[in-house]
Structure 1
Amino acid sequence: MIANESENQPSSVAAATKRGEIFAFLVLAVLIWPIIAVGVVGGYGFLVWMWQVVFGPPGPPVH
């Protein structure tokens, strides 16, 4: 059977891997996801704006 790989790695390699994971998490949490969130919200706002340009603003039906 294959032994657990983390048991065979020196502690410096495990520390470097953990440091890399923390760095990747921080890049995702601080840079990537906020940019994606702003893009999604802005894209939805643009979609609603264009919809209202074409079909008019919401309101009661005109009789």
Structure 2
Amino acid sequence: MKSEPLESGSRKREWITFFILAVMIWPFIAVGVVAGWGFIVWMYYLFTGPPGPV
């Protein structure tokens, strides 16, 4: 099995894909997950009341 070096165009396309995922998509996903968790906790406390002794 011979391993051939990546072509210049393939390397460029790989960097563009990495940039799009790392800088543009994953931050929005991370913020959405944290905001979704906050919303779930907020709704839970809305129905059950705040934590702590009564």
Question: Which of 11, 18, 26 in structure 2 is aligned with 1:18?
Answer: 11
Question: What is the Cα deviation at residue 3 of structure 1?
Answer: 2.6
TM-score where L is the length of structure 1: 0.77
User: How far apart, in 1, do the equivalents of 2:20 and 2:46 lie?
Assistant: 38
After TM superposition, the structure 1 = structure 2 runs for residues 14-53 of structure 1, keeping only pairs within 5 Å, are 14-53=7-46
TM-score where L is the length of structure 2: 0.88
User: How far apart, in 2, do the equivalents of 1:27 and 1:59 lie?
Assistant: 44
User: Are positions 1:3 and 2:32 aligned together?
Assistant: no
2:51 aligns with 58
> What amino acid is the match of 2:25?
I
User: How far apart, in 1, do the equivalents of 2:51 and 2:32 lie?
Assistant: 24
Please, what is the CA RMSD of the aligned residues? Answer: 1.4
Unmatched 5+ stretches in structure 1:
8-12
Question: What is the Cα deviation at residue 59 of structure 1?
Answer: 1.6
Runs (4+) of structure 1 exceeding 6 A deviation are: none
